[in-house]
Amino acid sequence: MKYSYVRAYFGLENIAENCARNLVGDCGIMALLFITLCRCAGVPARWESGWKAEPGFCGAHDWAQFYAAPYGWLYADPSFGAGAVREENEARRRFYFGNLDCYRMTANTAFQANFDVPMDHWRADPYDNQVGEMELEDRGLRYDEFERTKEILEFTEL
């Protein structure tokens, strides 16, 4: 599987199927394929996304969870696992199937979830939301119509 940035998801059809056929996608597309394959095999699976946040860097990222009795819900990060395969790092690949690193900030626990206070107009990203949305009285704003930044203010060891 090869990582590649893609256009907005609302312009894509059959996201998981296209990923399976072409073996290419971004972190969200790889997570959706993983979730789809799990569910086809009868394994409960769900979406999770937010930030990969570590000292000096933060960026939007998507991953998945799957249910494995008797352990419960476990994590899988298919795109980080695919990167480990390219690097021939078997230990890292295995780690990201069942675990996540500690540098995650979860923003979403469902794909295509509505906001607790619903928007009145079209969303910029109806599939996921890691950076916020804005709207005016008459329409939603696209991401290129407002400035946004992500900043880590503090890391605290627990």
pLDDT tens-digit profile of 108-124?
A: 999 888 888 889 998 88
Residue 39 in any domain: the answer is yes
Checking if the pLDDT of 57 tops 90, the result is no
Q: Between the CA atoms of 7, 10, 12 and 14, what dihedral angle is there, to the nearest 10 degrees? A: 140
Taking only the tens place, the pLDDT of each residue in 71-113 is: 999 999 999 998 888 899 999 999 999 999 999 999 999 988 8
List the domain range (segments joined by +) for residue 41.
11-108
Residue 75 in any domain: the answer is yes
Query: In terms of Cα–Cα distance, which of 24, 26, 29 is closest to 1?
Result: 24
Taking only the tens place, the pLDDT of each residue in 10-45 is: 788 899 999 999 999 999 999 999 999 999 999 999
Query: In terms of Cα–Cα distance, which of 58, 63, 46 is closest to 113?
Result: 46
Residue 98 in any domain: the answer is yes
Residue 56 in any domain: the answer is yes
Total domains in the chain come to 1
Judge whether 151 and 80 are in contact, CB under 8 Å.
Answer: no
Residue 134 in any domain: the answer is no
Residue 63 in any domain: the answer is yes
Q: What pLDDT is stored for residue 8 in this prediction? A: 82
Residue 82 in any domain: the answer is yes
